[in-house]
Structure 1
Amino acid sequence: MNLRRWMKLFGTTILIGALIAAITGIGLMGTDQEFQVKGTENWLVNIGLMALGGLTFGAFSHMGFFAYLMLNYIARSIFKRLYTWIMIQGLLAIIVMFEIGYWTYDTNFPSYTFWAVPLLLLGAALLVAWRKAHETSSGAWIPTVFFLVAITALESVPAFRTGSMASLVFQIIPLFVCNAYQIMRLHRILDRSPQAAAQATSAS
């Protein structure tokens, strides 16, 4: 990946974060009249601030993406057998799902949050992983699910601490979409040929 491609990926990611955050925020404002940013009642200012927050989410997502790539590179050099690292990722994804339930159980979140959030996150991750595997190889399933479940959850920790469902939705949706975009772009950025894409998938 050269500097031009990296800058393009970064720029597109933060713009997607801003767009999705604004759309999510508008949806939340339509269902929750008390959902505001900085306490202002001007809806246009609220949307602008939400978009700015989305830029931050996009940048945070981009940092998490490259942190995962670095972790993946180190892990592949440690484990001699690739499937060992893949199985570890699958196990960690399961653990994180239980952690989400633990973070939200018996808190200010609605009672259904502890099972609904991890299941929805897993379902969305599986959908993206299916598309990733379709475009590359079957080896992309577990790494993609791990990235979208575990990394998205870790990036959303501040929202889990608020106890506010609206805040959680406002943060986790843009982060997930940004992460999904980046993982789907990875094999295209590294090489557009199907053979090289399949090889790149094992690293994602």
Structure 2
Amino acid sequence: MTSRAWIKFFITTLLVGGVATGVIGFVVRWDEFSHLFTNFDALEILSVLFWLFGVGLIFSIISQMGFFAYLTVHRFGLGIFKSHQLWNAVQIVLVLFVLFDLVYFRYKAFADAGDSILPYLGLAGFVLIAGVVIAALKVSTTNKHAFVPALFFMVVVTTIEWVPVLRVNEESWLWLMVLPLIICNAYQLLVLPKYNAESARQRERLEAKKSSV
């Protein structure tokens, strides 16, 4: 990717994260912010929106760090296992392992005696369903071999990025972070080919200019 395309990719992903968190923040923390709309305090609404937008920028940066780390890990994995099939099998195992951890260890750490495990299963199930949907969209825009890597990224990498809030286990923050992360991760995964194509066109134009001199 050229530096110009990367900067555009970076900025648009930042905006996606900021806007998504601004909207989602009011929804998931409605009990906390609803009085601002009841009494319609415009200044306070804007200040909260600005704060949520800033938090979203942080989430977006975390998402982008995870995405570029995964691209490195993916190439590293292909280099080690020498086969897409074997590397895909390893990724599937890791997806299952992370989902198990997301349920079992959170339940052991935070559940009180007699608490149901269903909310913990539901959270992991939501991440899995989101991952499957985004992976299916990725396949529809590329090829069938993209499904497992996309699912791995959407489940495993999203969960790793989510760890700081998972350790706190505050419900509103769980959703406030994971939803923008999923949106940012999905955006990067789905639009990357567009920016790669744009980079290729920029290189072609540069080469054409050089050859014409």
* Contact kept? 1:21, 1:170, Cα under 8 Å: yes
Q: Higher RCO, 1 or 2 (CA under 8 Å, sep at least 6)?
A: 2
CA distance in 1 between counterparts of 2:33 and 2:141 reads: 42
Gaps (5+ residues) in structure 2?
Answer: 35-42, 199-213
CA distance in 2 between counterparts of 1:141 and 1:157 reads: 24
1:29 pairs with 2:29? yes
Gaps (5+ residues) in structure 1?
Answer: 36-40, 193-204
TM-score with structure 2 setting the length: 0.81
Runs of 4+ in 1 over 4 A off after TM superposition: 108-111
Select the structure of larger CA radius of gyration: 2
Q: Which amino acid aligns with 1:91?
A: V
Pairs aligned (count): 186
Aligned to 2:206: none
Q: Which amino acid aligns with 1:129?
A: A
Q: 1:162 to 1:34 in 2, by over 3 A?
A: farther
The equivalences for 1:19-168 within 5 A come to 19-30=19-30, 32-33=31-32, 42-106=44-108, 107=110, 111=116, 112-168=118-174
CA distance in 2 between counterparts of 1:33 and 1:26 reads: 8
Q: Which amino acid aligns with 2:71?
A: L
CA distance in 2 between counterparts of 1:183 and 1:6 reads: 14
Percentage of matched positions with identical amino acids: 31
Q: 1:172 to 1:100 in 2, by over 3 A?
A: same
Q: Which protein is richer in helix relative to its size?
A: 2
